[in-house]
Chains A and B, each alone.
Chain A
Amino acid sequence: MQYPVGSMPLKPTWSSRRAQMLAAVPIVAMLGAIALRLPLQLSAIDDVALRVALPASLAFVLAFAPAPSTRTGAIARDLTVLALSAAVFGGDGQPVMLACYPLLLMTSVLLGWLWPHTGARRE
């Protein structure tokens, strides 16, 4: 195995059906969060950028990131995309959601442990 990381250039997985479906989640979430804030005031656009656009953009980029080498890593990536998508509705609770990120990683490890041999990935 290549440890800790490989040497191939990082390329987005645009053509992956799974990545496309995953990337759709933050887009829908962002549109939903913006709809909930309508009518948008220009004086609050910074709040929309920080609390809606930033987590949704991170989730979108992460969805198309190269596939992790382990099943648990892939689960953690998918759950992170979903959590970031949920965070756009988090409002003032976002810092708490961020602090709770280890719980999400713990869930990934548990899920990877429960379903260790699904798919072609090593583990």
Chain B
Amino acid sequence: MNFDANELLALQRAGFLLGPGAVAAALLLVLKPRPREAVAAMVAFLWQLPALLVLQLLATHFQWWSFAGERNMLLGLPIDVWIGWAIWWGPVAVFANRFLPIYAIVALSVVLDLIAMPRLQPLVTVEASWLIGDAAAMGLCLAPALWVAQLTRDDRLPKRRAMFHVLGWGGYMTLVIPACALSWSGRPLTDLYRLPVSALDWAALSAGLLLLFVGVAATAEFARVGQGTPIPFDPPKRVVVSGPYSVVANPMQIISAFFMATLALYAASWSLAFVAAMFAIFDAVYATWYNREHIALAMPEAWSSYRRDVPEWRVNWSPRVAGDAHVSISPDGPARWIWDRYWPRLEPYLKGRIIVESEPRGRFLRLGYRRPGEAIDDTGIKALGRILEHAPLPVAMLGWMIRFPYLGGALQRLSWLWISVWRRANDVA
């Protein structure tokens, strides 16, 4: 059969959408995955959509390859190819992981790309440096998706899973949804991705960054204390009541709607404002129903006790602190020096009962914080963050920042550096 270029392009696009969809459906029927494996496949698919869009931006910028097509395109990527690709490197790859290790799937995909990519004209035109792009695709899209899917399936390393969810959620909020909304209304992405020029821009940018900070802090708390993620099918294993959850029950839902509203303001886009309104409706109705119908029934005592003190949609000025907190402080040294100086001033402003014990260094760093009833156990600079979270909201937020992923580790190292300087200055061995 002879097809002209337009017909061949249309057939290729249809095949790249329906082919992976059919393979995924067949694997679903044949393998009959357990729910956790299905959730893993969904997580991988959800990872691919923003990751492939980032890859497309990189491919355009570095001229690795380009796609042909005039209709149903997003940032130069055919939408059908985008979805089909996400299914292929999402559910299909995850189901294949039953039989092949991750490295073998990645190696097979590289081989497949080496054979197929140069032969995919007119849909794809590869440039001289396309192999670099292919390596980027494996490192940015396929390998991380398979890894996070495997962790989700096996219910391992919740902090790593949460990190992927933060990146993925960020990808949807800052790239996928704005790109779709702006593209639908015929506006370029540069209407959003531009330097701030007015006071309103700076205000929107500051508000957006603050909201992102709280959102990441809430996700990290889910992982650290709850051993789970924000995805409803892979949730925390207990009611998380600390961090941002000590002042409001639905921080992530509130943040999603307000963050989208700040993007709408920044881009002056009615379509993004509409999406923000839909977020608000989803959060106010469906998320509320989900909490009451699932969490409240799965963990009734913990949930009702928590909900008595913490509102769903209003932010409390003072945190809810249930149960005793145990603080261990070393009997001497720089941490003790600071403690003796500042604790009497800080204590009157802190909520909840804090039992302070002097313990020699060794079992913990110089400072430890435990709330056994809430599965909280931190040491060092993160323990300081926990103590600050007993204070009213602005100081509590400082505590969230001190414990912020990676920042907390960096601050701990800085504090070690400061302590070594202190020891040298005070001539302490």
A residues contacting B by CB (< 8 A) are 1, 3-12, 42-50, 53-54, 57, 61, 70, 72, 95-96, 99-103, 105-106, 108-109, 112, 123
Closest residue to A112 on the B side, CB-wise? B289
In the bound complex, residues from chain A placing their C-beta under 8 Å from that of B294 are: 3-4
Say whether B278 contacts A102, CB under 8 Å: yes
Say whether A5 contacts B233, CB under 8 Å: yes
Closest residue to B72 on the A side, CB-wise? A50
Q: Does B407 contact A (CB under 8 A)?
A: no
In the bound complex, residues from chain A placing their C-beta under 8 Å from that of B419 are: none
- Tell me the residues in window 277-293 of chain B with beta carbons closer than 8 Å to chain A beta carbons: 278-279, 281-282, 285-286, 289, 293
Given contacts A3-B298, A43-B10, whether A10 and B35 have CB atoms under 8 Å apart is yes
Our pick among A7, A46, A72, A106 for the contact of B35 (Cβ within 8 Å) is A7
CB distance from B360 to the nearest CB of A (A): 42
CB distance from B312 to the nearest CB of A (A): 15
Stretch in contact with the other chain, from B12-20, B52-60, B398-406: B12-20
Our pick among B7, B9, B32, B279 for the contact of A9 (Cβ within 8 Å) is B32
Interface size of B by Cβ–Cβ distance < 8 Å?
A: 51
A-B pair number, CB within 8 angstroms: 121
In the bound complex, residues from chain B placing their C-beta under 8 Å from that of A45 are: 7, 10-11, 14
A53 vs B180: C-alpha distance when bound (angstroms):
21
Closest residue to A92 on the B side, CB-wise? B184
In the bound complex, residues from chain B placing their C-beta under 8 Å from that of A54 are: 17-18, 21, 80, 83
Closest residue to A66 on the B side, CB-wise? B35
Our pick among B25, B79, B184, B233 for the contact of A4 (Cβ within 8 Å) is B233
- A-facing mask of B224-257, CB < 8 A → 1, else 0? 0000000011110000000000000000000000
Given A4-B232, A4-B233, list of 16 further CB < 8 A pairs? A1-B298, A4-B235, A10-B28, A10-B32, A10-B34, A12-B29, A42-B3, A42-B7, A42-B11, A47-B71, A49-B17, A50-B13, A70-B293, A102-B281, A108-B286, A109-B286
- Tell me the residues in window 42-97 of chain B with beta carbons closer than 8 Å to chain A beta carbons: 71-72, 78-80, 83
A49 vs B274: C-alpha distance when bound (angstroms):
28
Give the most central of B10, B38, B83, B180: most A CB within 10 Å: B10
Closest 5 CB pairs of A and B: A3-B298, A46-B13, A102-B282, A5-B35, A49-B14
Interface of A is mostly: helix
CB distance from A13 to the nearest CB of B (A): 12
Say whether A57 contacts B274, CB under 8 Å: no
A95 vs B181: C-alpha distance when bound (angstroms):
8
In the bound complex, residues from chain B placing their C-beta under 8 Å from that of A1 are: 297-298
A46 vs B17: C-alpha distance when bound (angstroms):
9
Closest residue to A76 on the B side, CB-wise? B286
Closest residue to A105 on the B side, CB-wise? B286
Q: Does B275 contact A (CB under 8 A)?
A: yes
Q: Does B146 contact A (CB under 8 A)?
A: no
In the bound complex, residues from chain B placing their C-beta under 8 Å from that of A112 are: 289
